[in-house]
Amino acid sequence: MERRNHRRTAAPIQKGTTSVEVISVHDLLLDRSLNPRRQAVDQEVVEHYAAIFKETLWPPILVHRGTNKLLDGWHRVEAAKRAGVYSLPVTWVEAKEEELFALAVKANLGHGLRLSREERYQAIARLRRESWTPERIAETLGCALGMVDRTEKAEDLRVKYKVQSHPGAALPIESLVEVIKLPPEYQDEIVELACEVEAAPTDLRRTVRAVKKGEVETSQDIRRTMTDPEFLKMRKAALPDLQDGNWLMNFATVIDQMENGSFSITPVERDAALSLFRRLRKWADRQLALLGEEEPLPLL
């Protein structure tokens, strides 16, 4: 009998003077394809909700009338089960089946546990694959047409890389959206470096911004920008000394300290030192050429 009571659907309850419809969690249809999150539920969030569930006034979950498919409230439903609560307030949605995913996305854009940037791009990409027009997506989700356009271009770039069997095809949409902000002649190199260093979307965002501003040009600088968030800041901080020539005095001071010191190094450090000194020698020869010296430094 108790089980049957739990399965009663949409029974009204009185709360003060307001009638609120409820639904049993056992009557919900949890269709994973309607959850726009890459990870269906965050277990830490569920545990937190469950611990305070009976003491908290929760907003109604969003459910499709006719199919009982859950559109919004996945964490609340799981938390309710763990807290031993089997009836939840419900807001019904009447819509066509083809609209349910978009409505689920829209609902998850507006509350505390919001969709990530990548999840929003993935949702737009899916709706485009389902033949939704950019205008309809923008109107339904409340997003800018530019976001839809960037998603399309990023997915076109992914198709290109798939044809080429390029590792860039596996990058998140969020990363490819950053890449398409660059002229085509820069894109492949940036993507290759991003794959090489396993750059996160935030790393790519920082790098693309630096390339567009002309703050980095060489592959080495681009790689440093992707892997070291502080690289550009340190470089900017050093510019005044570089422009004033103070770095030459600092460099000379370091050489004096090295000459006056005695160091013992390991075999590994020896190999690193040789590589460094060869690079310094090439750099010094280039500087001499710029100063009008045609002959490289003599070997002592």
Amino acid (one-letter) located at 238: A
Question: What's the angle, vertex CA 149, arms to CA 147 and CA 155, rounded to 5?
Answer: 105
Mean local confidence (pLDDT), 199-228: 90
Kindly state the percentage of the chain with pLDDT values over 90. 58
Q: Is the pLDDT of residue 51 over 80?
A: yes
Mean local confidence (pLDDT), 56-76: 94
Give tens-digit pLDDT for 15-45.
Answer: 333 346 999 999 999 999 999 998 888 899 9
The torsion of the CA quartet 45, 47, 48, 51, rounded to 10 degrees, works out to: 160
How many CB atoms sit inside 10 A of residue 293's CB?
11
Mean local confidence (pLDDT), 97-124: 89
Query: The CATH number of 2-115 is which of 3.50.50.60, 3.90.1170.50, 3.90.1530.10, 3.40.50.300?
Result: 3.90.1530.10
pLDDT (0 to 100) of residue 242: 53
Q: Is the pLDDT of residue 218 over 90?
A: no
Report residue 14's pLDDT band, with 50, 70 and 90 as the boundaries: very low
Query: What is this structure's pTM?
Result: 0.71
For residue 221, give every residue at least 6 positions away whose Cβ sits within 8 Å of its Cβ, in sequence order, or none: 231
Average pLDDT, the chain: 84
> Which residue intervals of the chain are DSSP H helices?
2-6, 43-52, 74-83, 100-109, 117-129, 134-141, 145-163, 173-179, 184-197, 201-212, 219-227, 231-244, 246-260, 267-290
The torsion of the CA quartet 164, 166, 169, 171, rounded to 10 degrees, works out to: -160
Give the residue range(s) of CATH 3.90.1530.10 domains in the chain.
Answer: 2-115
pLDDT (0 to 100) of residue 273: 80
Mean local confidence (pLDDT), 1-24: 48
pLDDT (0 to 100) of residue 284: 80
